Amino acid sequence: MSTTTTETPAADAGVQLTDGFHVLVDALRLNGVQTIYGVVGIPVTDLARIAQASGIRYIGFRREDSAGNAAAAAGFLTKRPGICLTVSAPGFLNGLPSLAAATVNCFPMIQIAGSSQRPLVDLQRGEYEELDQLAAARPFAKAAYRIDRAEDIGRGVARAIRAAVSGRPGGVYLDIPGQVLGETIDVAAAAKTLWRVTDPAPQQVPAPEAVDRALGLLAGAERPLIVLGKGAAYAQSDEQVRAFVEATGIPFLPMSMAKGLLPDDHPQSAAAARSLALSRADVVLLVGARLNWLLGQGEAPEWSPSATFIQADIDATELDSNQPIAAPLVGDIGSVMAALTDRAKPGQITAPAGWRAELDARKDHNAAAMRARLAEDPSPMRFFNALRAVRDVLAGRPDVYLVNEGANSLDITRDVIGMQVPRHRLDSGTWGVMGIGMGYAIAAAVEAGGPVVAIEGDSAFGFSGMEIETICRYKLPVTVVILNNGGIYRGDGVNAASADPAPTVLDPSAHHERLIEAFGGTGYHVTTPGQLTQALGTAVASGQPALIDCVLDPSAGAESGHIGNLNPQPLANPAPIPAPSR
Ligand code: ADP
Ligand code: TZD
Ligand code: MG
């Protein structure tokens, strides 16, 4: 263990001092941290400098939520906690939404925030950036800790890493007051306080009886279905998942970030027959997927009321959260899937041919409808002909990391663009967050080297748009495609009451490509699928920052995309509310 030393003239002869900054950087390095995503200021500026000098890569953002989103995506891609660094109160608060979303998405990350002097903050004496950050973070994080002494830095880092990745992964908040960063400590004593976390996310093997119970249900199924979620993608157990799916022949349905875990053109994929698969399945194996709103809580009419559920998940408390789980498989996905394959007797489980044929027929029917939609060529462009152009370019580039947010831009891209490789699709996730785009794209480029294509609604892009400067500053291989229909959901909303634009309207004549030109990237403004194909091909091949503003018809798009049914409905003719009598 090496702890960087600072010689201070005042130090006693023979005593070598270091400080909290250096101990923290050493603790992170010792635990394999290679990158910090953040925004600097009091009291963490020197922390970033010292980290950078130590060989850790520091990626400086324009706003903390994007830095936090990058850390979360790094966590999803690498199975190691991504690190986000923020300043005290306002910077801390800007980062907090990304910590909350990471926790909801089950992505491991650690937000490290500097904070102000405890004695002043605690008595609310009006300290600089005064806020009880630990208390504020707690409801939004999987765990939250504060380090109050330099000698506890190693322990705090170890605890944060363990909490972030063990069991169900999530966001951890680590508070470090400026005084602790500046605290001096004897270098030999400091070295003894640091350790590397052993086996931070231990394997969790399901009991044989639990495995046999699940196999028994699948063996008796007439219409079995496997649902793969982003927990399965995260688990990096691709071979174990594939082996069981292919050995049994059971149709599978990938949730959006599990697309590519098995290729989308796999013959067992039921993605193109999703609603039939859900409504007809009689025994369902959930693999790292929650039965939450994205799966209609497991209820009719989306699901058959008599469906039986088997759930593989690392978090036992997830089970029975919505439906009775007839066969719990608590463990990590790799161990669970391997156990299922190992304990299945030869020929015990085969997906009935009639069920496969039923799904295949629906897939063929839906694929023909999709082909017809993609073949239409309206001008101005609409979502399908624009995305056909994108699909044609990406078909030859399975290595591209696809980032995706928006409403229609999200839903239609998910359906049109197939994925071939695991963990190459990053999107708005469980909360449907707008603003993840540039942070996720930056993380994919930094962690995996790219290339990255971010397909963005024009509204969605605006939430993190300033980070294109970050993309240009670090010269990252990111191409942003803005599906610009001039609004939230669409750009043709009308306000009959005043000259103000309607609530959903943005500027349909916006030239987003000029934004990236301001920072030295390449901008394209395209109005036809041919131009889009050309621009995207050139941009991806260049490996340089690029932004394509893709002009769509402002009338293209449905309110809230595919989830318009979640909007409460105002009465068409509500009675006027009488004026209050007092
Ligand atoms: P999706 O949105 O794709 O359906 P969710 O985020 O709802 O997926 O579900 C992911 C689930 O995966 C969570 O319940 C989480 O506890 C679980 N999970 C995460 N990592 C692992 C792992 N390594 N092994 C098993 N389950 C995991
Ligand atoms: N704020 C945040 C942080 N997340 C959200 N999901 C929303 C607001 C609400 N919202 C959506 O759910 S989608 C969306 C918003 C504002 C933008 C849709 O417009 P878009 O996509 O231009 O990004 P399309 O292609 O026009 O539908
Ligand atoms: Mg839009």
In DSSP notation, 210-267 reads HHHHHHHHHHT-SSEEEEE-HHHHHTT-HHHHHHHHHHHT--EEE-GGGTTSS-TT-T
Closest ligand 2 atom number to CA of residue 557: 27
368 inside domain = no
How many domains are contained in the chain? 3
26 inside domain = yes
Ligand 1, pocket residues at CB < 6 Å: 105-106, 168-169, 229-231, 234-235, 255, 257-258, 288-290, 292, 294, 313-315, 318, 332-333, 430
Q: What is the 3-state secondary structure (H, E, C) of 473-524?
A: HCCCCEEEEEEECCECCCCCCCCCCCCCCCCCECCCCCCCHHHHHCCCCEEE
For residues 511-527, average pLDDT? 98
Read off the CATH number of the domain in which 493 is found. Answer: 3.40.50.970
Please report the pLDDT score of residue 582 as a whole number. 78
222 inside domain = yes
User: What is the spatial distance between Cα 129 and Cα 177, in angstroms, rounded to a whole number?
Assistant: 12
User: What is the spatial distance between Cα 413 and Cα 556, in angstroms, rounded to a whole number?
Assistant: 14
557 CB less than 6 Å from ligand 2?
yes
| Cα–Cα separations (whole angstroms), residue 114 to 87, 287, 377 | 5, 38, 54
User: What is the spatial distance between Cα 126 and Cα 128, in angstroms, rounded to a whole number?
Assistant: 7
567 inside domain = no
For residues 436-452, average pLDDT? 97
Task: Kindly identify the ligand whose nearest atom is closest to the C-alpha of 464.
Answer: 2
508 CB less than 6 Å from ligand 2?
no
Q: What is the DSSP letter of 272?
A: G
For residues 12-34, average pLDDT? 93
Residues 442 and 520 in one domain: yes
For residues 26-48, average pLDDT? 98
User: What is the spatial distance between Cα 426 and Cα 375, in angstroms, rounded to a whole number?
Assistant: 27
540 inside domain = yes
Task: Kindly identify the ligand whose nearest atom is closest to the C-alpha of 288.
Answer: 1
Helices (H) and strands (E) in the chain, counts: 22, 19
Tokens of 246: 């292919």
44: Cβ contacts below 8 Å, ≥ 6 apart: 38, 85, 86, 87, 112, 113, 114, 181
Residues 394 and 256 in one domain: no
Measure 401 CA to ligand 3 centroid, in angstroms. Answer: 22
| Cα–Cα separations (whole angstroms), residue 153 to 114, 143, 532 | 13, 16, 51
Residue of 65, 104, 463, 489 with the most ligand 2 atoms within 8 Å of its CB, for mutation = 489
Residues 111 and 175 in one domain: yes
Indicate if the pLDDT at residue 423 is higher than 90: yes
Residue of 109, 168, 227, 274 with the most ligand 1 atoms within 8 Å of its CB, for mutation = 168
Residues 398 and 547 in one domain: yes
Residues 284 and 389 in one domain: no
Residue pLDDT, tens place only, 229-279: 999 999 999 999 999 999 999 999 999 999 999 999 999 999 999 999 999
The amino acid at 552 = L
Residue pLDDT, tens place only, 482-509: 999 999 999 999 999 999 999 999 998 9
Please report the pLDDT score of residue 527 as a whole number. 98
502: Cβ contacts below 8 Å, ≥ 6 apart: 493, 494, 495
Residues 258 and 334 in one domain: yes
Measure 458 CA to ligand 3 centroid, in angstroms. Answer: 5
CB 433 within 8 A of CB 96: no
For residues 36-60, average pLDDT? 98
Higher pLDDT pick, 581 / 380: 380
133 inside domain = yes
Residues 409 and 498 in one domain: yes
Measure 434 CA to ligand 2 centroid, in angstroms. Answer: 6
561 CB less than 6 Å from ligand 2?
yes
For residues 411-439, average pLDDT? 98
Task: Give the CB-side neighbour count of residue 110, counting CA atoms within 13 A.
Answer: 26
Residue pLDDT, tens place only, 268-311: 999 999 999 999 999 999 999 999 999 999 999 999 999 999 99
Residues 255 and 344 in one domain: yes
Residues 150 and 214 in one domain: no
User: What is the spatial distance between Cα 114 and Cα 64, in angstroms, rounded to a whole number?
Assistant: 13
Residue of 436, 488, 560 with the most ligand 2 atoms within 8 Å of its CB, for mutation = 488
455 inside domain = yes
User: What is the spatial distance between Cα 431 and Cα 97, in angstroms, rounded to a whole number?
Assistant: 11
Please report the pLDDT score of residue 157 as a whole number. 98
Measure 559 CA to ligand 2 centroid, in angstroms. Answer: 10
Average per-residue pLDDT for the chain: 96
Longest Cα–Cα distance in the chain: 85
Residue pLDDT, tens place only, 348-358: 999 999 999 99
Please report the pLDDT score of residue 263 as a whole number. 98
To the nearest 5 percent, what fractions of the chain are helix, strand and coil? 45, 15, 40
Atom 16 (ligand 2) nearest CA: 488
* Cis peptide upstream of residue 508 (ω within 30 degrees of 0): no
Please report the pLDDT score of residue 13 as a whole number. 63
Please report the pLDDT score of residue 581 as a whole number. 87
CB 129 within 8 A of CB 140: no
Indicate if the pLDDT at residue 11 is higher than 90: no
406 CB less than 6 Å from ligand 2?
yes
576 inside domain = no
Task: Kindly identify the ligand whose nearest atom is closest to the C-alpha of 456.
Answer: 2
Closest ligand 2 atom number to CA of residue 432: 6
459 CB less than 6 Å from ligand 2?
yes
Please report the pLDDT score of residue 12 as a whole number. 58
Confidence band for 2, pLDDT divided at 50, 70 and 90? very low
User: What is the spatial distance between Cα 546 and Cα 48, in angstroms, rounded to a whole number?
Assistant: 28
Residues 384 and 505 in one domain: yes
User: What is the spatial distance between Cα 466 and Cα 478, in angstroms, rounded to a whole number?
Assistant: 14
Please report the pLDDT score of residue 1 as a whole number. 41
End-of-domain residue from the set 192, 217, 243: 192
Indicate if the pLDDT at residue 7 is higher than 80: no
Indicate if the pLDDT at residue 377 is higher than 80: yes
Residues 441 and 488 in one domain: yes
- Pairing mode, strands 17-19 and 184-186: antiparallel
Angle, vertex CA 549, rays to CA 547 and CA 553, nearest 5: 160
Atom 18 (ligand 2) nearest CA: 488
Task: Kindly identify the ligand whose nearest atom is closest to the C-alpha of 404.
Answer: 2
- Its domain, for residue 168, covers 6-192
Please report the pLDDT score of residue 15 as a whole number. 87
Residues 350 and 387 in one domain: no
Atom 23 (ligand 1) nearest CA: 235
Tokens of 510: 């916006």
Please report the pLDDT score of residue 21 as a whole number. 98
User: What is the spatial distance between Cα 559 and Cα 565, in angstroms, rounded to a whole number?
Assistant: 10
311 CB less than 6 Å from ligand 2?
no
Q: Which residues pair with 84 in a beta bridge?
A: 37, 111
User: What is the spatial distance between Cα 309 and Cα 289, in angstroms, rounded to a whole number?
Assistant: 12
Distance of CA 546 to the CA centre of its chain: 22
Closest ligand 1 atom number to CA of residue 168: 16
Q: What is the DSSP letter of 359?
A: H
Please report the pLDDT score of residue 480 as a whole number. 99
